[in-house]
Structure 1
Amino acid sequence: MTSQSSLATEDTPPGGPENPGGGSGLQAGLKNRHLSMIAIGGVIGAGLFVGSGSGIAAAGPAILISYALVGAMVVLVMRMLGEMAAARPTSGSFSAYADQALGRWAGFSIGWLYWFFWVVVLAVEATAGAKILNGWIPGVPQWGWALIVMIVLTAVNLAAVGSYGEFEFWFAGIKVVAIGAFVIVGLLAVFGVLPGSDNPGNGFGHLTDSGGFFPEGPGAILTGVLMVVFSFMGSEIVTLAAGESEDPQKAVTRATNSVIWRIGIFYLGSIFVVLTLLPWNDASILKDGSYVAALNSIGIPHAGQVMDVIVLTAVLSCLNSGLYTASRMAFSLGQRGDAPKAFAKTTSRGVPRTAILGSVVFGFLAVWFNYQWPDTVFDFLLNSSGAVALFVWLVICFTQLKMRGIILREQPEKLVVKMWLFPYLTWATIAMISFVLVYMLTDDAGREQVLLSLLVAVLVVGVSFVRERVQRVR
């Protein structure tokens, strides 16, 4: 059953529909440079800087294959999402497309699950940023820094969509420049041509000199996949933001076409540099973090402090985008009647104020849970949202299988981005994601995430079916 309200919003031009609740709808406040940097920086999360050391310790140099496999999966998912978003840009993105292609229950369920994922991320990133800031200025307690960070970024998002875009432009720009510089400087050191480097410059020797390329066995590649898959979440943000841009179709097309080199340089390139600068089992990789250890091996002064600044930037970027993403999904759900109507109201500047405040309130609550009950309530929130990223990607795949026919039937001229080898690669991607979910059940930490995320998903789907039945009775 296709929602009439969803169809009414799909072809709305940037500038927004008239809202029955007030305001003039979302507005085209994002410039092309904003969208370009959101697309580039959206794939670089704090998890790349903080979590890569654990992946290297678990799989050795073979972690490169893990990153390549997950990267390929993300490229394919983004291609599918790009196909739909270029044809029908909307702030609801894959949730709105699932609503049309699979039914109201699918749009409702994946929309709320995605919103839940990002408001939990708000708490995680606010706490991570607070730890760094507390280390610099211990006079302000950690909870105080978390509060300050959340308030500042809430104010940024409430001001105007252009404010979000401008902040994200600079946050993402710092991440991009930092990783680009790291890759260039690191490669020069690897080949022994960096003046003043303390690294012996062994070329590619470290990829095989400590137990070979597969020191923990080929099976460790799959363990690595589980450890790195969630650091890729965020690639799809650009398709939500496109609805508030000057030229949505062009922005989505450009972002979709560039995802391969973005993943290649920022993920594979930077991890490759770490693995060629140091043996994979060097104790400093886990102790100091992979990037700090690599910079220390070159002799870069104050490497730890430099990386703290970059990680803080990544954290603030993730917080900024997380609040934006959660609020726009809540706005879209409100427009389609799947959330309180107040969420669909916008200010005269096109800002969905209620959707932003509703998202940030849950984010504040989650931060409080993190300080009050970190090992019980917050641990449950964390694990029950852990596999949502994979659920979202699965829904995108199944949605694209049906949306291709809908677009060809209704607006064939808008099919400017096409999924490669359709439908074979779509089904192959579904198989890959399903395999990862099943394999997670064999891992202790992964099993809890899948089962708890599945429990929450079943509850949300159940609520959607009950709502539909109640509405039919009325």
Structure 2
Amino acid sequence: MSGFMGDPHFDGDSPPQGELRRGLKSRHLSMISIAGTIGTGLFLASGASIAQAGPLGALIAYVMIGSMVFFMMTSLGEMATLIPTAGSFNTYAARFVDPALGFALGVNYFLNWAITVAVEMAAAAMILQFWVSPDALPSWVWAFIFLFFMVAINVLSVQAFGEGEFWFSAIKVLTVIIFIIVGILVDAGAVGGDKVGFRNWTIEGAPVPNGFGGILGVFLVAGFSFQGTELIGIAAGESENPRKNVPKAIKQVFWRILLFYVLSIFIIGLVLPYNDPNLLSNGGVDKEAIAVSPFTLVLEKAFKPASHIMNAVILTTVLSAGNSGMYASTRTLYMLAKDGKVPAIFGRINKRGIPMVSLGCTSLIATIAYCTSLFGSGEVYNWLLNISSISGFIAWAGIAVSHYRFRRAFVAQGGDIERLPYKASFYPCGPIYALLLCTVVICGQGYSEFTKPEPKAVNLIACYIGLPFFLLTWFGYKLYHKTKIVPLMECDFSVANLDDANMEEVIPSVEDKDTEKVES
């Protein structure tokens, strides 16, 4: 049996020379998907979502975006189990759509997560001010301590990254479970006062006070909250057994979304009225936001030190997001180098299987991005955030388009759908639905500004600046390299996680296809 990447000496544990190590176990992949889903979007911004759309409106928005994420993940899972690579969707886009699209997705995703590391550095420093005065230790010192911590985890090995995410995620999962239990008890009147029941769903304006407009506004918040679930695709390239572990993790995404987000939103809407002024927090990470987090408000009804507990949990969330961002950005840049789209030096691997040059570049960009927040008015920093924020939705849209073309090319080349290691649900409706909803969210970035009596052009530009940046990288590469859409019969399935015998059963060999043409 020949091994992965066509190396006959590959045994599944040690990587071929110059390749990433396959050190992520099934439990790591499962927790990475949780780590990508549970974050400040749930712990902080969920309150603002209910205030804007009401208890039922917020539920509708999160269910719709959650279902879209589920279909997007099944699309990614089908490709990642057949062709597991750290390049994930940018590699798939280059193979099945257009090399220029793959380059644009890769560059935007790399910058997205590198800038996210800078955002989490700043957030971690703010969270520590809950306990330590900035007079005792400046915020920038904390920020660089956390940067060092994130780099150290990623330098050690991919197993260290996996273990870090496993325990970060375990803390978040435990918090959500405790919150759900306490919330049910509070609503039933067992703790914290009188029984609430569905009373807050019947107050004036509830359960959908602002109609479809309010739900549309929450689409954006919900979408940002779910960003990071696609990290499974990148981690597949370093999974011990992607054919088995990736589908297992993908299948659990839907239930996690249902349990952790939908049920949490439902309980917050039961216990707290949508017009509670504390829910109007914009979801930012600071001392005031944590004090009025809907999780804090509900938990305080059972025990008073909830704000300190939630502060510690949100600190864990921020570190997890920064750790994931460092990993995702590093692997994306590495695969861009392996695909020949950026200088080859970024594709160098050390003895532990870590792309150190790419890791150093990610750390440098994160540092530069963070420093822009310390000088002047922070306008450059805000623009970087806006360029970054839209990249996740563009990546999801890219996954949907890539999977649609992947399946068509697979069938065109004689592939047997039933022989795929993992088959996505509801094709082609799933990827089409994901693409349409992503498009709605991307186009709705400036919704809140458009609804103002006098929209400001500068604010609208800030909302959409990420889109022209993506288009510039796409068409710039396309014009320079004169790339074209890849014909279905030329789409590349050569790097597949199947032995040669199975591969011939899934996709006929080139010789077989040529013979079929001659016979016909």
Match of 1:80 in 2: 75
Q: Which of 322, 326, 329 matches 1:323?
A: 326
More displaced 10-residue stretch of structure 1: 182-191 or 162-171:
182-191
State the Cα distance separating 1:467 from its structure 2 match.
4.2
Cα separation, partners in 2 of 1:121 and 1:172, compared to 1, 3 Å: same
Match of 1:347 in 2: 350
More displaced 10-residue stretch of structure 1: 84-93 or 384-393:
384-393
State the Cα distance separating 1:151 from its structure 2 match.
0.8
Structure 1 residues 444-467: Cα deviation after superposition (integer angstroms, max 9, x where no partner): 288445520112112211331244
State the Cα distance separating 1:398 from its structure 2 match.
0.9
Matched, 1:460 2:457: no
Flag structure 1 segments of 5+ consecutive residues without an equivalent.
1-6
Match of 2:243 in 1: 249
State the Cα distance separating 1:36 from its structure 2 match.
1.8
Flag structure 2 segments of 5+ consecutive residues without an equivalent.
282-291, 451-458, 484-520
State the Cα distance separating 1:312 from its structure 2 match.
0.4
Give secondary structure in 2 for the equivalent of 1:136. Answer: coil
Matched, 1:444 2:449: yes
- Please show how residues 2-41 of structure 1 align to structure 2 within 5 Å: 18=16, 24-41=18-35
Matched, 1:258 2:252: yes
Match of 2:153 in 1: 156
Corresponding letter in the other structure for 1:80:
S
State the Cα distance separating 1:77 from its structure 2 match.
0.8
Matched, 1:44 2:33: no
Match of 1:270 in 2: 264
- Please show how residues 292-441 of structure 1 align to structure 2 within 5 Å: 292-296=296-300, 298-373=301-376, 375-408=378-411, 409=413, 412=416, 415-441=420-446
Give secondary structure in 2 for the equivalent of 1:137. Answer: coil
Query: Is the Cα–Cα contact under 8 Å of residues 127 and 311 in structure 2 kept in the other structure?
Result: yes
Cα separation, partners in 2 of 1:374 and 1:320, compared to 1, 3 Å: farther
State the Cα distance separating 1:407 from its structure 2 match.
3.6
Structure 1 residues 115-139: Cα deviation after superposition (integer angstroms, max 9, x where no partner): 1111111111111111111332222
More displaced 10-residue stretch of structure 1: 455-464 or 159-168:
455-464
Structure 1 residues 152-187: Cα deviation after superposition (integer angstroms, max 9, x where no partner): 110110111111111111101100111111111211
Query: Is the Cα–Cα contact under 8 Å of residues 344 and 355 in structure 1 kept in the other structure?
Result: yes
For normalisation by structure 1, the TM-score amounts to 0.90
Distance 1:423 1:142 in 2: 49
Cα separation, partners in 2 of 1:271 and 1:449, compared to 1, 3 Å: farther
Query: Is the Cα–Cα contact under 8 Å of residues 78 and 424 in structure 2 kept in the other structure?
Result: yes
Query: Is the Cα–Cα contact under 8 Å of residues 192 and 200 in structure 1 kept in the other structure?
Result: yes
Query: Is the Cα–Cα contact under 8 Å of residues 92 and 333 in structure 1 kept in the other structure?
Result: yes
- Please show how residues 124-273 of structure 1 align to structure 2 within 5 Å: 124-138=119-133, 139-193=136-190, 197-273=191-267
State the Cα distance separating 1:355 from its structure 2 match.
0.8
Query: Is the Cα–Cα contact under 8 Å of residues 285 and 293 in structure 1 kept in the other structure?
Result: no
Distance 1:113 1:282 in 2: 38
State the Cα distance separating 1:442 from its structure 2 match.
3.9
Give secondary structure in 2 for the equivalent of 1:219. Answer: helix
Query: Is the Cα–Cα contact under 8 Å of residues 14 and 243 in structure 1 kept in the other structure?
Result: no
**Equivalences, count:** 454
Cα separation, partners in 2 of 1:90 and 1:449, compared to 1, 3 Å: farther
Corresponding letter in the other structure for 1:324:
Y
Distance 2:272 2:259 in 1: 19
Query: Is the Cα–Cα contact under 8 Å of residues 14 and 26 in structure 1 kept in the other structure?
Result: no
Distance 1:78 1:417 in 2: 12
Query: Is the Cα–Cα contact under 8 Å of residues 372 and 378 in structure 2 kept in the other structure?
Result: no
State the Cα distance separating 1:414 from its structure 2 match.
5.3
Match of 2:294 in 1: 290
Query: Is the Cα–Cα contact under 8 Å of residues 217 and 447 in structure 2 kept in the other structure?
Result: no
> Which runs of structure 1 show a deviation greater than 6 angstroms over 4 or more consecutive aligned residues?
none
More displaced 10-residue stretch of structure 1: 98-107 or 449-458:
449-458
Matched, 1:89 2:102: no
Cα separation, partners in 2 of 1:280 and 1:256, compared to 1, 3 Å: same
Distance 2:341 2:414 in 1: 25
Distance 2:426 2:98 in 1: 26
The structure whose Rg is larger is 2
Query: Is the Cα–Cα contact under 8 Å of residues 134 and 145 in structure 1 kept in the other structure?
Result: no
State the Cα distance separating 1:40 from its structure 2 match.
2.5
Corresponding letter in the other structure for 1:229:
G
Query: Is the Cα–Cα contact under 8 Å of residues 15 and 22 in structure 2 kept in the other structure?
Result: no
State the Cα distance separating 1:30 from its structure 2 match.
1.5
Cα separation, partners in 2 of 1:201 and 1:13, compared to 1, 3 Å: farther
Cα separation, partners in 2 of 1:176 and 1:441, compared to 1, 3 Å: same
Corresponding letter in the other structure for 1:175:
K
Corresponding letter in the other structure for 1:68:
V
State the Cα distance separating 1:372 from its structure 2 match.
1.5
More displaced 10-residue stretch of structure 1: 208-217 or 56-65:
208-217
Distance 1:442 1:8 in 2: 49
Corresponding letter in the other structure for 1:75:
F
State the Cα distance separating 1:410 from its structure 2 match.
6.7
Matched, 1:57 2:51: yes
Distance 2:6 2:241 in 1: 20
Corresponding letter in the other structure for 1:357:
G
Give secondary structure in 1 for the equivalent of 2:374. Answer: helix
Corresponding letter in the other structure for 2:126:
K
Distance 1:14 1:281 in 2: 55
For normalisation by structure 2, the TM-score amounts to 0.83
Corresponding letter in the other structure for 2:182:
V
Structure 1 residues 346-380: Cα deviation after superposition (integer angstroms, max 9, x where no partner): 11110111111111110011111112245311011
More displaced 10-residue stretch of structure 1: 124-133 or 48-57:
48-57
Cα separation, partners in 2 of 1:13 and 1:355, compared to 1, 3 Å: farther
Corresponding letter in the other structure for 2:398:
V
State the Cα distance separating 1:291 from its structure 2 match.
1.2
Give secondary structure in 2 for the equivalent of 1:379. Answer: helix
Cα separation, partners in 2 of 1:210 and 1:41, compared to 1, 3 Å: farther
Distance 2:470 2:11 in 1: 32
